[in-house]
Structure 1
Amino acid sequence: MSGPSAVKEEPITRRDQLVEFIASGGKPREAWRIGTEHEKFGFRLDDLKPPTWEGERGIGALLDGLTRFGWEPVRENGNLIALTRGMASVTLEPAGQLELSGAPLATVHETCCEVTSHLREVKAVADELNLGFLGMGFQPKWKREEMPWMPKGRYAIMQRYMPLRGGLGLDMMTRTCTVQVNLDFADEADMIKKFRVSLALQPIATALFADSPFTEGKPNGFLSFRSNVWTDTDPDRTGMLDFVFEDGFGVERYVDYLLDVPMYFSYRDGKYIDLAGRSFRRFLDGKLDELPGALPTLKDWADHMTTAFPEVRLKKYLEMRGADGGPWNRLCALPAFWVGLLYDDAALDAAWDLVKDFSMTERHALRDGVPRHGFKLPFRNATVRELALEALKISGHGLARRAQFNSGGASEAVFIEPLIEFADANQTPAERKLELFRTKWGGSVDPVFKEFAY
Structure 2
Amino acid sequence: MADTKEQAPPLTGFRDLVAHFEKGPKPDRSTWRIGTEHEKFAFYKDTLEPVPYEGERGIGALLNGLADTYGWQRIKEGENTIALKQGMASITLEPGGQFELSGAPLEHLHQTCSETGSHLAQLRDVAGKLGIAFLGMGFSPIWSLEETPIMPKGRYKIMRDYMAKVGRLGRQMMFRSSTVQVNLDFGSEADMVKKFRVGLALQPIATALFAASPFAEGRLNGFLSYRGHIWSDTDPDRTGMLPFVFEDGMGFERYAQYALDVPMYFVYRNGKYIDCAGQSFRAFMDGKMPVLPGERPTAQDWEDHLTTIFPEVRLKTYLEMRGADSGPWSRLCALPAFWAGLLYDDAALEAAWSLVKSWTAEDRESLRRTVPFLGLRAPIRGNSARDIAQATLAIARQGLKSRGITDSSGQDETHFLTELDDIASTGVTPAERLIERYKTEWGGDVRRVFEACAY
TM over 0.5: yes
Q: Distance in 1 between matches of 2:46 and 2:136?
A: 18
1:11, CA displacement in angstroms?
2.1
Q: Distance in 1 between matches of 2:253 and 2:268?
A: 25
1:114, CA displacement in angstroms?
0.6
Q: Distance in 1 between matches of 2:405 and 2:284?
A: 46
Question: What is residue 154 of structure 2 aligned with on the other side?
Answer: 153
Question: What is residue 18 of structure 1 aligned with on the other side?
Answer: 17
After superposition, residues 200-219 of structure 1 pair within 5 angstroms as 200-219=201-220
Question: What is residue 61 of structure 1 aligned with on the other side?
Answer: 61
After superposition, residues 398-409 of structure 1 pair within 5 angstroms as 398-409=399-410
Question: What is residue 95 of structure 1 aligned with on the other side?
Answer: 96
Q: Distance in 1 between matches of 2:367 and 2:110?
A: 31
Q: Which amino acid aligns with 1:298?
A: A
| Equivalent pairs, count | 450
1:117 to 2:118 alignment? yes
SS state at 1:186 partner: coil
Q: Distance in 1 between matches of 2:297 and 2:137?
A: 37
Question: What is residue 430 of structure 2 aligned with on the other side?
Answer: 429
1:169, CA displacement in angstroms?
0.6
Question: What is residue 50 of structure 2 aligned with on the other side?
Answer: 50
1:39 to 2:39 alignment? yes
Deviations 1:42-77 (A, max 9, x none): 001111110100001100011011011110001101
Structure 1 residues 15 and 380 mapped into 2: Cα distance closer, same or farther (>3 Å)?
Answer: closer
1:159, CA displacement in angstroms?
1.1
Question: What is residue 396 of structure 2 aligned with on the other side?
Answer: 395
After superposition, residues 227-376 of structure 1 pair within 5 angstroms as 227-376=228-377
Q: State percent identity of aligned pairs.
A: 60
Q: Which amino acid aligns with 2:18?
A: V
Q: Distance in 2 between matches of 1:137 and 1:51?
A: 17
Deviations 1:83-142 (A, max 9, x none): 000011000000110000000000011111111100110111111000110110000111
In the TM superposition, structure 1's runs of 4+ consecutive aligned residues that sit over 4 Å from their partners are 5-8
- Contact 1:10–1:299 (8 Å) recurs in 2: no
After superposition, residues 372-383 of structure 1 pair within 5 angstroms as 372-383=373-384
Q: Which amino acid aligns with 2:448?
A: P
1:6, CA displacement in angstroms?
12
Q: Which amino acid aligns with 1:321?
A: R
Deviations 1:14-44 (A, max 9, x none): 2101101111111121110000000000001
SS state at 1:170 partner: helix
Q: Which amino acid aligns with 1:36?
A: T
Question: What is residue 184 of structure 2 aligned with on the other side?
Answer: 183
Question: What is residue 222 of structure 2 aligned with on the other side?
Answer: 221
Q: Distance in 2 between matches of 1:194 and 1:374?
A: 23
- Contact 1:217–1:444 (8 Å) recurs in 2: yes
Q: Distance in 1 between matches of 2:184 and 2:236?
A: 25
Q: Which amino acid aligns with 1:359?
A: T
Q: TM-score, normalised by structure 1?
A: 0.98
SS state at 1:83 partner: strand
SS state at 2:406 partner: coil
SS state at 2:41 partner: strand
After superposition, residues 163-182 of structure 1 pair within 5 angstroms as 163-182=164-183
Q: TM-score, normalised by structure 2?
A: 0.98
1:450, CA displacement in angstroms?
1.4
- Contact 1:172–1:230 (8 Å) recurs in 2: yes
Deviations 1:230-285 (A, max 9, x none): 11111110000000000111110100100110000010111100010000000001
Runs (5+) with no aligned partner, structure 1: none
